[in-house]
Structure 1
Amino acid sequence: MGTRRDLIRAGAAWGLLPALAPAQPLTTGERVLRYAFRTAETVMDPVRVNDLYSRTLTAHLFEGLYTYDHLARPVKFRPLTAAALPEVSDNHRTWTIRLRPGIYFADDPAFGGRRRELVAEDYVYSIKRYADPLLKSPNWGYVDSYQLLGLAAQRQRAQGGRPFDYDAPVEGLRALDRYTLQIRLSEPRPRFIEFLAVGDLLGAMAREVVEHYGERTPEHPVGTGPFVLQQWRRASRIVLARNPQYRERLYEAEPAADDAEGQALLARFKGRRLPMVDRVEISIVEESQPRWLAFLNGQHNFIEQVPADFVEQALPGGELAPYLAQQGVKAWRRLRSDASMVFFNLDDPVVGGYTPEQVALRRAIGLGLDVGREIRVVHRGQARVANAPIVPNTTSFDPSLQTEMGQYDPARARALLDLYGWTDRNGDGWRERPDGSPLTLVWNIEDNQRARQLSELWLRDLRALGLRVEFKTGKWPELLKAARAGAFQMWHVGNLAAAPDSQGALQRYDGNQVGGQNMARFRRPEFDAIYKRLSALPDGPERETLFREAVRLSVAWMPYKVRWHSLVTDLAHAPVHGYRRPLFWQDWWHMVDVEPEAPKT
C-alpha cells in the first residue's frame, strides 16, 4: 500500500482530488467565494422552503441543534448549537438536548438594540411554526411524521382561520429550562437525530423577528449562523457576509484514518476560526453556457455541477483538461445522493387514479421514456439510470437492483396501452382515453435551454407511443407553487437526500405529506403503513425487507418515474481551498477558504 503522500499525488493526477497547496498567509484583502445557482431561490424562511437552492441559503443563515462532520465518511453527527449529543430514553421516544450557552442571534432592529441569546424556547417556537396552518408549510408532513406529542392536535385547533396559539403548551415540545429542550414522541424514532441535524429546516428563529416583520419575515432571515444576508435581488443576486457576531467556532473534523484527502484537509485547516471567507456572492444563471463562461473567465471562482454540455471540455476522458490544470483548477467528481423523476398528479382525472387503466397509462409512459438516450444526449453521460427511488450513498441503496423503473421498452408500453383501452379509435394517429374521449397530456416544464432539449426528447418518445403531449412552460417558483397546490398534470423534479437513512426518499410517497414532499399526491394505505413501520423499527433485516416492499409498490403504482442519479463534477479555481462535496447537508461555505483578493483602491 502506498503512503498518504502517494495517494494524494495519485488523486491530484487524476483530477479527482484537489492538489492541496501550501497554506496562504492572511492579508487585509477580502476572501470571497463566487458562484452561480442554476435555479432561482424561492424564500428564506426555513418553515416555507422546499427547494434545494433556498435550503442552501437558509442552511448558512440558521442553525439546527446538530450538524454533520464535514470530512467524516461514513457520516458522523456533531453538536452545533447543542452542548453534546442528545440524551435518549423511553425506547427512543424522549430526546433531551442541552444547548450551549453564549450563542447569539445576528443583530437586528427586532431586538431593540439588545444582544439576543439563543435559548431552548427558540427551538420550541421554531418547530411550532411548522404546525401553524396559516404558514402552509410544505414541510409540515415531514415534521408530523415524527409524531411529536400534542403538536398535530395544536394544529387542528387552529384550523378554519383561527390563530395558532404559540403560548399554549405542547406535551411533546418543551423547554425544561433556559438551555434544555425536551422532545417527546408518540412512537420510537431511533434515527430522530437526523431530524435534529437538518439545520436548513430546523434552524432556530427568534419570535421577536417574526412578530416584528410579520408577512415580511422571509425577507429578513435572522439566525445564529455564520453568515448574514447582505444583499438580495430576487432571482438575480444574493450576497451573504460573515456574521460579525458569530461565536468562536473552530475547524474540527474526524476523517477516517485511510482518507488521504480528508486527513490533508484536517492538517491544513484544523483550529482555523469559522467562517474562513468574508463573503459569498451568488448569481442566478439558469443557462449553461453563461454559467460555464463565468467560471472560465474568473468571474466565478467555483462552479457546482459543471453543465453537461461542457463536462467533456473540463474532464476529457475523465481527466482534468490540461488548460484547466495549468491554471490551478481543481476537480471533484462523485455520484450524487439524488434522483431525478417525472411525477404524475394522482388527483388528475387523466394521469391520476388507481384503477388498472390509469396505472397502465403511467407505467406505459415510464417504459416509453428513453432515459439512456436522455443521459447520453442531454446529460453527456453524467448520470446513471435509476431503478428505484432510493438514492446513492444512503443506507439501503442497492446499485445492483434491476426493476421496471429502469427499463426502456416501448413495445411493452404500447401493449399495455392497447390492453387497457388507450387506443386510437378514429385513426388520426393519436390514442384516445378508454371512454373514447380525446387524450392530451400536459407536462409542465421550465423555460430554459436544458428543459427545451428534454422536451424534444420526451415529445419524440411519447409520439412513438401515440400519445399527444403539450408542454406548459414557466419559471421554477411558479411551477413549484402549482405543484404544491395540485394544479398540474405532469412535472419533473429532483430529490436530494438530506440524511443518510434511505427512508427520506420515501417521503414523496407518504400520504401524510401530500402538498409537501409528496408532490404526486399519492395515497395508498399499504404504503403509509410501511412508511410508519420504517420510522419505528431499528436498523436490521426486518427493516430492509420493508424497504424492498416499498420499492416494489413504487414501481407497481408508478406515481413517479424515477429516471436517473446524477454524476456531478465540481470545479474550483486555485484560490479556493478546502472544498469537499457534502453527502447530505447543504452548509459548507464556512468550511472553505479563498485566497484574499487585492484590496480595492
Structure 2
Amino acid sequence: MALAGAAIGSLVAVTVQARDHNDWPEAWYQPPKTASELGITSFSQSPYLDGRDLPPVVERLPDDPVVIEPYQSIGKYGGTARTTIWDSWMFFNWEHALTVSADMRNVLPNLAESWSLSEDGRTTTVKLRAGIKWSDGVPLTADDFWFRLVHVWMDPEMSPITYRLVQGCEFVKIDDLTFQYVFPEPNPMFANFFAQYGSHFVDPMHFFKQYHPAFRDREELAALVEEEGFVTWMSMYGAFRGWGNEDAVKVPTLRAYKVVQRTPTKMRLERNPYYFKIDPAGNQLPYIDAVDAIILLENSQMIAFQAATGQLDFTAFTLKTQDIPLLKLGEVKGLNKVHIWNRVHVSDVAIQPNYNYDDPKYRELLWGKGERRFIRALSHAIDRDQMNEVIYFGRGVPSQVTAHPTSRWHEERFARAHIRYDPDYARELLDELGLDDVDGDGLREYPDGSKLTITFEYLDFETPKAITMELVRDYWREVGVDMRLKSVERSLQSERARSNKMQMTLWHADKVTDILFPLVPDWFYPHRSGWDIAMWNHWARYYQTDGELGEEPPPLVRNLQHWGDQLREATTEEHRTKAAKTLLEAAAENLWTIGTVGQAPHPVVVSTRLKNVTPTGIWGWDNRWTLSYHPSTWYFDDDDATAAQSPRDSAARNLHGEDATALRSPRDSAAGNLQDDDATAAQSPRDSARRNLHGEDATAARLPRDSAMRKLQRKDTTALQWSRSGTRP
C-alpha cells in the first residue's frame, strides 16, 4: 500500500502555485492536528449543554479529537445565528471521511484518521478516527459506510442504475474502523469523489435499517410507509435522508448542528453535543449554539434586503454580484460587513446547445455540415468585455469553459478560444452556412427558408443568469439569430432537461478544479445527464448503459468518452495529464458550451457581531462553499452587536439616506453607478433590453445621475471603492 501522503500527492499539482490568501492559517492546507499531537489534555463544553443528561465532554469527544485552527482567534460560546435555509448549509456544512483543503488542491483526512491507495489504483483503504459518535451518541463504524454503499448506492430498488463511479465496487470490512473500496478497474481518483461527495457515503445504519426492506419485514415496512405518509420505502428513506443533509429532526448527524425543529417557514438547528472537533484551547466546537434559518425559498431580492439591513448573521448563497452596491450601503451604515469572495465558476453562465435535440435541421446546424461554425459564430457575437462592465463592474474574467486557473491543467489559450468579440466574423460564418435573412426582417432563416428560432429555457439561480441572457439575446439578434428566452422554475427545469426537451439551456461552470474535473467533467464529454447538464442526454445514456440505451455518438465524441475514462483511471501523472489536455483541447476547439464571464465577485455578508469569517475566499460547489473555512469556528462578539440586535432600527429604515427610492429596485441604480469611471456601457447599452437591464424603469441604466446615489457619494464613498480597485478581490 502507498502511504496516505503519497496518495495525496498523486492527486494534486507537484508544483504548488503561490497562494492568493496569505492570511489563511497554514493548518487549513494540511492534515489536521489532533489533541495528543498538540498536548491538549483538558476539554470544555458550551454552557448551553450544562445541566443536560449527557456524558462528560471528554467521553463525548473522540479518543483523540481533531483540532481546528480558527481564522483569527479563539472564540466565545453562545448565541443563535440568523440566516436563510440555503445559507444554513454554510453553518452545518458536511462532515466527510475525507475533505478538501482550502486551496482546493489537496484531499485531507477528516472523519478518517488516514487513507491510502494501492499501487494498482484499484483499492482505497480508509481508517476512521476512534471514538467519533453520531449526534445520538452511537459510535461511527465501518458498518455505516457499508450500509450506504451496499443498501443505497447498489440497492436495485433505490438505485436501478448504479452510478458509474461506484459500479463494480466491493466493500471490504477489515475491522470496526478500517475498510476498503475495491474496484475491478483502476480508480485512483476515488478519494476525490469520496471527499467531495462524502455525505453520500455514510448513513447511521442503526437508524436507517428500520426503513429498509433488507432489515425489516416488508409488510411491517409497508405499514410504516403508510403511517409516515409516503408511497414507497424509497421515498420515505429519501425524505429522511434529504440531499445528504439529514434534514429530518429524528435523523442522527455527524455535523456541528442537528435539526431540532422544522416548519414551512423556519428550520432550527442546535449544537451537536457529540461533535468531534475542538479548538486549540480544548473547547468543543462549534462556538455558536443554535441556527435559526428562515425559509424564503428563492426570493433573492428579499434576502438581499435583509442582509443589507443587518437582519441576518450570514448571507451568501442567493446573493448576486449586482447586490453588492446595496449591501455596501448597509455596511456604510454599520449594519453589516460585506466580504467579496470570488466564485469558482470559470463561467457564471455556460450556454448549452442540445446536440441531441429532436429537430434534424437544428442538429445538423450544431453538428453536421455546420462543422461547429454556428456555435463559433454565436460565441464571437458576444461582447464579453461589455458584459463584464455592465454586470460585474469589470471585476470578472471573460472566459470559455475550461479548467480553473488553480488547476495544473489550465492553459490560457483554452480559456481564450473563440472569445474575441467580432460580430462581422460571426455574420460571415453564418452566411457560409446559408443562414440568410430571406424575408428582410433582420433575422436569419434556415437554408430551406423556414424560421430559425432558438428557444432558450433556463433556471435563474445563484449567478446573474437572466441579466446575462438578456444581453446574449440582443448580441445574437445583432447578427441575425433569433433567440427567445423562457425562465422556468426548478422542477420544470429538471423535468425538461432530463427528458431532452430543451433546445438550449445553461448552468454555471463549476466542477472545474483538480478535485472534481477528473471525476465529473460534465462540460467536456457526455457521461451523465441531469437537471443541470442537458447538452447530450442520448449520448450520455449510451455511455452509461454500454450501448443498451440512448444513441451512439459520433466517433469524435466516442473518442472523448474514452479519454474521459483514461482521465479517471490513469495511475500515472503523465497519462492523466495527456487525458486532461486532450479533453480541454477538444473543448476549446469545438466549443461544446459557450462561456461568458467567470471568477466573478461574490458577496458574502456577515453581521457586525459574527467573527472568524475569512474576508476572502472561493465560493462554489467544488469546495462546498464554506467547508474549507471551518464555520464551526465562527462566533459572536456581542460587544460589537448593536446593529445586529436592532435590525429594524432607524439606520435600517434609512439605509439609503435622505432618498429611499432606491429600495424599490435594490439591484438597479447602484449597480449602474459603480461604473462612473467609464460609463459608456451603462449610457448606451444599445437597445431597450440593455437599457432596462436592471428593471422595468429605464433610469437604471443612467444611474450615475441618480440623486440618492449622488447623495451617498458625497457622504461616504467607502461602499464604492471596491469596484474601482485596480486588482480583483
Cα pair distance change 1:286/1:91, threshold 3 Å:
same
Cα pair distance change 1:62/1:125, threshold 3 Å:
farther
Cα pair distance change 1:507/1:196, threshold 3 Å:
same
In structure 1, how many angstroms separate the alpha carbons of the residues matched to 2:483 and 2:345?
31
Q: 1:126 aligns with which of 144, 148, 163?
A: 148
Q: Which residue of 2 aligns with 1:560?
A: 593
Q: Which residue of 1 aligns with 2:558?
A: 525
Q: How does 1:257-296 map to 2 (within 5 A)?
A: 271-283=282-294, 284=296, 286=298, 289-296=301-308
Q: Does 1:250 align with 2:278?
A: yes
CA contact (8 A) 2:194 2:201 kept: no
Q: How does 1:362-373 map to 2 (within 5 A)?
A: 362-373=375-386
CA contact (8 A) 1:337 1:394 kept: no
- Matched AA of 2:126: I
CA contact (8 A) 2:316 2:604 kept: yes
Cα deviation, 1:362-384, whole Å, max 9, x if unaligned, reads 33222222232222212333421
In structure 1, how many angstroms separate the alpha carbons of the residues matched to 2:80 and 2:525?
44
Q: Does 1:175 align with 2:173?
A: yes
Q: 1:333 aligns with which of 341, 352, 365?
A: 341
Cα deviation, 1:85-144, whole Å, max 9, x if unaligned, reads 21322422111212334334344xxxxxxx64433232233234334565569xx78x51
The Cα shift of 1:399 comes to 4.5
CA contact (8 A) 2:404 2:410 kept: yes
In structure 2, how many angstroms separate the alpha carbons of the residues matched to 1:516 and 1:291?
25
Q: Does 1:508 align with 2:523?
A: yes
Q: 2:311 aligns with which of 299, 305, 309?
A: 299
In structure 2, how many angstroms separate the alpha carbons of the residues matched to 1:579 and 1:359?
46
Aligned-partner SS, 1:411 = helix
Q: Does 1:472 align with 2:486?
A: yes
TM-score by length of 1: 0.73
Of 590-599 and 464-473, more deviation after overlay is shown by 590-599
Q: 1:93 aligns with which of 92, 100, 122?
A: 122
Q: Which residue of 2 aligns with 1:572?
A: 606
- Matched AA of 1:519: A
Paired-residue identity, %: 18
Q: Which residue of 2 aligns with 1:144?
A: 164
Q: Which residue of 1 aligns with 2:507?
A: 493
Cα pair distance change 1:365/1:237, threshold 3 Å:
farther
In structure 2, how many angstroms separate the alpha carbons of the residues matched to 1:126 and 1:452?
39
The Cα shift of 1:493 comes to 0.7
Q: Does 1:30 align with 2:76?
A: no
In structure 1, how many angstroms separate the alpha carbons of the residues matched to 2:508 and 2:466?
17
Q: How does 1:81-480 map to 2 (within 5 A)?
A: 81-82=111-112, 84-107=113-136, 116-128=138-150, 129-132=152-155, 135=158, 143-145=163-165, 148=167, 150-151=168-169, 172-199=170-197, 201-205=199-203, 206=205, 207-208=208-209, 210-211=211-212, 214=233, 215-220=235-240, 221=246, 222=251, 223-232=253-262, 237-244=266-273, 246-251=274-279, 271-283=282-294, 284=296, 286=298, 289-304=301-316, 307-312=320-325, 323=332, 329=337, 331-334=339-342, 336=344, 338-340=346-348, 341-348=350-357, 349=359, 351-352=362-363, 354-357=367-370, 359-399=372-412, 401=414, 403-446=416-459, 450-480=464-494
Cα pair distance change 1:286/1:373, threshold 3 Å:
farther
CA contact (8 A) 2:502 2:534 kept: no
Q: Which residue of 1 aligns with 2:567?
A: 534
Aligned-partner SS, 1:561 = coil
Cα pair distance change 1:201/1:367, threshold 3 Å:
farther
In structure 2, how many angstroms separate the alpha carbons of the residues matched to 1:59 and 1:338?
26
In structure 2, how many angstroms separate the alpha carbons of the residues matched to 1:336 and 1:488?
26
Of 435-444 and 330-339, more deviation after overlay is shown by 330-339
Cα pair distance change 1:476/1:514, threshold 3 Å:
closer
CA contact (8 A) 1:498 1:504 kept: no
Show structure 2 runs of 5+ residues with no match.
1-21, 24-69, 213-223, 226-232, 241-245, 540-556, 646-729
CA contact (8 A) 2:271 2:286 kept: yes
Aligned-partner SS, 1:520 = coil
- Matched AA of 1:31: T
In structure 2, how many angstroms separate the alpha carbons of the residues matched to 1:379 and 1:134?
46
Q: CA RMSD, aligned part only?
A: 3.8
The Cα shift of 1:529 comes to 1.5
Cα pair distance change 1:61/1:76, threshold 3 Å:
closer
Cα pair distance change 1:515/1:36, threshold 3 Å:
closer
Aligned-partner SS, 2:429 = helix
In structure 2, how many angstroms separate the alpha carbons of the residues matched to 1:135 and 1:424?
52
Q: Which residue of 2 aligns with 1:68?
A: 100
Q: Which residue of 2 aligns with 1:546?
A: 579
The Cα shift of 1:248 comes to 3.3
- Matched AA of 1:130: W
Cα pair distance change 1:91/1:22, threshold 3 Å:
closer
Q: 2:634 aligns with which of 592, 598, 601?
A: 592
Cα pair distance change 1:441/1:196, threshold 3 Å:
same
Q: Which residue of 2 aligns with 1:263?
A: none
The Cα shift of 1:473 comes to 2.0
CA contact (8 A) 1:354 1:557 kept: no
In structure 2, how many angstroms separate the alpha carbons of the residues matched to 1:595 and 1:209?
43
In structure 2, how many angstroms separate the alpha carbons of the residues matched to 1:480 and 1:512?
17
- Matched AA of 1:224: L
The Cα shift of 1:343 comes to 0.8
Cα deviation, 1:313-350, whole Å, max 9, x if unaligned, reads 6679xxxx9826x6673634346355331112221126
Cα pair distance change 1:276/1:482, threshold 3 Å:
farther
CA contact (8 A) 1:209 1:217 kept: no
In structure 1, how many angstroms separate the alpha carbons of the residues matched to 2:492 and 2:377?
28
In structure 1, how many angstroms separate the alpha carbons of the residues matched to 2:118 and 2:610?
44
In structure 2, how many angstroms separate the alpha carbons of the residues matched to 1:495 and 1:133?
32
Aligned-partner SS, 2:563 = helix
CA contact (8 A) 1:388 1:403 kept: no
In structure 2, how many angstroms separate the alpha carbons of the residues matched to 1:232 and 1:367?
49
In structure 2, how many angstroms separate the alpha carbons of the residues matched to 1:585 and 1:443?
30
Cα pair distance change 1:526/1:210, threshold 3 Å:
farther
Of 572-581 and 72-81, more deviation after overlay is shown by 72-81
Of 539-548 and 472-481, more deviation after overlay is shown by 539-548
In structure 1, how many angstroms separate the alpha carbons of the residues matched to 2:415 and 2:93?
41
CA contact (8 A) 2:308 2:328 kept: no
Bigger radius of gyration among the two: 2
Cα deviation, 1:240-261, whole Å, max 9, x if unaligned, reads 33234x333224xxxxxxxxxx
In structure 2, how many angstroms separate the alpha carbons of the residues matched to 1:517 and 1:286?
17
- Matched AA of 1:474: V
- Matched AA of 1:208: K
